[in-house]
Amino acid sequence: MASLNMVKALNLALRQALTDDGDVVILGQDVGRDEGVFRVTEGLLAEFGSDRVIDTPLAEAAIVGCAVGMCLYGLKPVCEMQFSGFAYQAFHQIEGHVCRFRNRTRGRYTMPMVIRMPSGGGIRAIEHHSESREALYAHTPGLKMVMPSTPRNARALLAAAIADPDPVVFYEPKAVYRAFKEEVPDEPETLPIGKARVVAEGNDITLISFGAMMRPTIEAAEELAERHDISAELIDLLTLSPMDTETITGSIRKTGRAVIVHEGPRTCGVGAEVAARIAESALEYLEAPIRRVTCYDVHFPYFARERAFLPNAERIIHAAREAMDF
């Protein structure tokens, strides 16, 4: 066991994957010599060499497009997009090929790649560096979309993603990169992709979130218990696609109320999908309308307005209490 922050935990997963599987290759901008702008790939070039950890020119489409070719020939590339907001150069390769090759060729060719991207706001970055468009990837057939929330689950999910025979878009909540440490086992550990986690049990209301928003959601749950005598069940989605409907609806059958919390814009966000599934499968258990606490349908502001803009514990508590009072 070691007490690691998320950056170190991700680094551990990458190091173990590079050690255990000679077909794993890391490629991206500044991942080698500079060890990644967030240091996630620290020490990896030195340990594994430039045939395994590859610094590329500035070209996102080429990073992912070449990774497609690498998969065709049997490698398992782990691509890095420096920020999720810059992945759109690569989006056409993702939408046009990465998510389609298995289906297009009836399994003759498959795409066992991971595309890692730091996402979300909260670090006072300039425009395009605080994006949350997980819904785009969750909406794309043939992709898996994963977003961890803590060092330990980040390590376990990244290991699972690298081992997954299908392509995984792996969003890393950059606001959590160095926010706190957690005990992470030295020996290899994975979590199943497609399973949400009940972080805390409760009876009155279900709070559902993922990524960086888990922390204000947990804070809200604690205050709801201490100050308002409301017992909240906390669910961390962990995988956005394929989403774990059973865990979500199972909780709603118990509590009858839901607040969904995420950073991305509200309309057609992941929360909309969660709400639709609850309405489809657990309508008769609902005691109140499903609430979503999210960023608004506007672009993420420059960081002078960031702190006011991001969903916080107060807004989650307010929504939860409204649901309880309905």
Partner 1 sequence: MATERQAPVPRKPVTIAPKVEYLSVLDEHGQADQTLDPQLDDDSLLRLYRTMLLTRRVDERAINLQRQGRMGTYGPTRGQEAAHIGPAFALERDDWCVQSFRETGACLLRGWPIQNVFLFWGGYEEANVVPQGINDTPIAVPVATQLLHAAGVAWAMKLKKHPKVVLGFVGDGGTSEGDFHEALNFAAVFDLPVVFVIQNNQWAISHPRRKQTRSETLAQKALAYGFDGVQVDGNDILATYVAGREAVDKARSGGGPTLIEAVTYRLGVHTTADDPTKYRSAEEVDRWVKRDPLTRFTKYLTDKGVLNDQTIAEIDADVLEEVKRGVEAYESIGQVDPLDVFAFTYAEMPPELVSQRDEFAAALERERRSAGQ
97 lies in the site for partner 1, by CB under 8 A: yes
- Nearest distance in Å: CB 215, partner 1: 28
- Nearest distance in Å: CB 74, partner 1: 7
**Single-letter amino acid code for the residue at 314:** E
Going by DSSP bridges, is the β-strand pair 205-209/182-184 parallel, antiparallel, or unpaired? unpaired
| CB 14, CB 78: distance < 8 Å | yes
- Nearest distance in Å: CB 49, partner 1: 11
Is the preceding omega at residue 141 within 30 degrees of 0, hence cis? Answer: no
142 lies in the site for partner 1, by CB under 8 A: yes
Nearer to partner 1, 90 or 313 (CB): 90
User: Cβ contacts of residue 190 below 8 Å, gap of 6+?
Assistant: 156, 157, 159, 160, 163
Known catalytic residue: 129? Answer: yes
Residue from 8, 129, 144, 292 in contact with partner 1 (CB under 8 A): 144
Assign residue 175 a region (left: φ > 0; alpha: ψ between -120 and 50; beta: otherwise).
alpha
- Residue 304, number of CB atoms within 10 A of its CB: 9
67 lies in the site for partner 1, by CB under 8 A: yes
Determine the Cα–Cα distance for residues 235 and 239; give it in Å rounded to an integer.
Answer: 11
HSE-up of residue 70 (Cα within 13 Å, Cβ side): 23
74 lies in the site for partner 1, by CB under 8 A: yes
SS3 233: strand
Nearer to partner 1, 43 or 69 (CB): 69
Determine the Cα–Cα distance for residues 288 and 9; give it in Å rounded to an integer.
Answer: 39
> How many residues touch partner 1 (CB under 8 A)?
43
- Nearest distance in Å: CB 12, partner 1: 24
List binders of partner 1 among 157-196 (CB under 8 A).
Answer: 165-166, 194
Residue from 5, 16, 102, 249 in contact with partner 1 (CB under 8 A): 102
Residue from 30, 37, 62, 225 in contact with partner 1 (CB under 8 A): 62
Residue 214-243 contact track with partner 1, rule CB under 8 A, x = bound:
----------------------------xx
Q: 270-282 and 245-255 helices cross at what angle (nearest 10)?
A: 60
- Nearest distance in Å: CB 160, partner 1: 13
Residue from 3, 19, 105, 267 in contact with partner 1 (CB under 8 A): 105
Nearer to partner 1, 142 or 216 (CB): 142
- Nearest distance in Å: CB 89, partner 1: 8
Determine the Cα–Cα distance for residues 39 and 177; give it in Å rounded to an integer.
Answer: 10
Distances from the Cα of 170 to the Cα of 65, 70, 84, 116, 158, angstroms: 17, 19, 10, 5, 7
Binding-site ranges for partner 1 (CB under 8 A):
25, 51, 56-57, 59, 61-62, 64-75, 89, 92-93, 96-97, 102-110, 141-142, 144, 165-166, 194, 242-243, 245-246
Catalytic center residues: 129
